[in-house]
Amino acid sequence: MNTQRVLSHRLPQDALLSLLVLHVLLITILTGCTTSTQLWQGDRLVEEGNYQGAVAQYLQIIRKHPGSEVARNATLRIARLYEEQLNRPDDAVQIYRDVTKRYTGSKQAQEALWLLGMHYYNRGEYTKALPRFVQLMMDFPRTPRAQEAHLQRAACYVKMERYQEALTVYEEYLRYYPESSRIPEILLRQADLYAQHMQRRDRAVARYRKLVEEYPHTEQAASAENRLEELGALAQAPPIVPEGGLREVGPPTRPNARQLLYEWQPSDVFGYNVRELLLGGEGMFGGEELQESLAGNGSLLDDAVYNMGLMFYMTQEYRKAGAALEKALELGIREANLYLRLGICYREVGEIKKAQAMFRELNQIDPGAVDRLIEEADRYRAEGRTADAQKRYESLRNISPDRDKQIERRLTKIVQE
């Protein structure tokens, strides 16, 4: 009689089952230890400077354990070696893209989005970096990487000299992450932008003073005090209202918010129902906080709709963005950024008269933003993109008599050319 038969004869059924489970568990543990050891061996080769050897080690893990957690980690390690050590950035980018598509929602996809965004940022390709950071924020909204991505968006706008948009993103950050340890840093950045690039001494002073008063024992507060002294503004400064960014104070209450929400219909222009976009969303604008607010005083509804519009705008989903921003306007939000972005959404779907109406309001609040729209159209004309330039000029007609003169001269030149 062999050993297996002896054991099966002597051991009761439950004991045999326990042994089987233990056997499977031991195999699982040993397999995990083996793959972890292989990963460690690859990491050690990296430390020794043997990058090709490390790649070979990681590839061995991927072939033996395809799709596993350790294989995904090995894949990202190869991509980073390609980018940082082996001068194969295009291969790294391809891997980052593959990971985000194949392992949607995984921590490796989150890291791949971050690395892809930083790849483009470090190469000065800010318009390519921005969508990656926005996607990371939307797909992984409650993670530390989402916070970092938020700040990298602002950094992209600063590099592009789009300072008002950087300020808006910083304002969003302060709203989304009120307990963040980086708030003093953000306040200082905002103040410096106002002082150094926007020529808004009043707003710079207000931000510096807020920093000094609310975070007095920080390194940033000391810097703010020095800047206040340089500006001759150590005296109390008046509070400010955010310029062009998210509203810091929404409506006190909207107790009928849930009923109001379910009465909404699809936008006549953009085709989307904001209710469906909002309740079907996740994270920043469709999560538990909004549901709790709808069950209570409804005070988050306006901000949720507006923020959703801004997020869709940043990913160039103009019909979704337009529907949300249109609804935000209906709810009573009146801001330069809303008029600007909603006007652009109208323009992008061919609603030129509606775009003109938005830009007319914008011209009253922030004429500098209209100047930038005209400059953008001028760039398109200079690049030979006549149709795009003409569409932009047309959307800026009927704003004011002075603006009309500027636009008509430019349209005449296009016809002559």
Are 348 and 370 members of one domain?
A: yes
333, 366, 382: which is the final residue of a domain? Answer: 333
> With helix as H, strand as E and coil as C, how does 330-341 read?
HHCCCCHHHHHH
* Mean pLDDT to the nearest integer, 252-279: 84
SS3 289: helix
Are 259 and 328 members of one domain?
A: yes
Are 342 and 416 members of one domain?
A: yes
* Mean pLDDT to the nearest integer, 188-204: 90
CB contact burial 223-235 (16+ within 10 A = b; e otherwise): bbbebbeeeebee
* Residue showing tokens 């323009």: 347
pLDDT of 151 over the 90 cut: yes
Least Cα distance to 193 among 227, 143, 150 occurs for 227
Least Cα distance to 358 among 342, 378, 374 occurs for 342
Residue 78 confidence (pLDDT): 94
pLDDT of 95 over the 60 cut: yes
In a domain, 126, yes or no: no
Are 379 and 402 members of one domain?
A: yes
Find the distance separating the first CA and the last CA of the chain, reported in whole Å: 100
Count helices and strands (H / E) in the chain. 22, 0
- Reported confidence tier of residue 17, pLDDT bands at 50, 70, 90: low
Radius of gyration of the chain (CA): 28
In a domain, 30, yes or no: no
Cβ atoms of 166 and 243 within 8 Å: the answer is no
Are 301 and 367 members of one domain?
A: no
Question: Which DSSP category does 219 fall into?
Answer: H
300, 333, 366: which is the final residue of a domain? Answer: 333
In a domain, 159, yes or no: no
Least Cα distance to 111 among 74, 160, 153, 154 occurs for 74
* Mean pLDDT to the nearest integer, 94-99: 94
Q: How far apart are CA 361 and CA 366, in angstroms?
A: 9
Tens digits of residue pLDDT in 152-183: 999 999 999 888 888 888 988 887 788 899 99
Pick the more confident residue, 167 or 285: 167
* Mean pLDDT to the nearest integer, 327-356: 91
Are 287 and 305 members of one domain?
A: yes
In a domain, 270, yes or no: yes
In a domain, 12, yes or no: no
In a domain, 288, yes or no: yes
- Range scoring the smallest mean pLDDT among 15-29, 36-50, 164-178, 221-235: 15-29
Are 348 and 395 members of one domain?
A: yes
User: What string of DSSP letters covers 290-321?
Assistant: HHHHHHTT-TTHHHHHHHHHHHHHHTT-HHHH
Q: How far apart are CA 271 and CA 284, in angstroms?
A: 23
User: Residue 236: CA atoms inside 13 Å, Cβ hemisphere, count?
Assistant: 2
Are 326 and 377 members of one domain?
A: no
The tally of domains found in the chain comes to 2
Are 407 and 345 members of one domain?
A: yes
In a domain, 174, yes or no: no
Helices within 85-218 (DSSP H only): 89-102, 107-122, 126-139, 144-159, 163-176, 183-196, 201-214
Are 319 and 275 members of one domain?
A: yes
Pick the more confident residue, 1 or 205: 205
User: What string of DSSP letters covers 347-381?
Assistant: HHTT-HHHHHHHHHHHHHH-HHHHHHHHHHHHHHH
317, 333, 349: which is the final residue of a domain? Answer: 333
CA angle 131, 347, 413 (to 5 degrees): 110
User: Which CATH number belongs to the domain containing residue 405 in this structure?
Assistant: 1.25.40
CA angle 326, 177, 365 (to 5 degrees): 40
- Range scoring the smallest mean pLDDT among 99-108, 287-296, 334-343, 385-394: 287-296
Q: How many residues does the chain have?
A: 417
Residue 200 confidence (pLDDT): 85
Q: Look up the domain containing 327 and give its range.
A: 253-333
In a domain, 109, yes or no: no
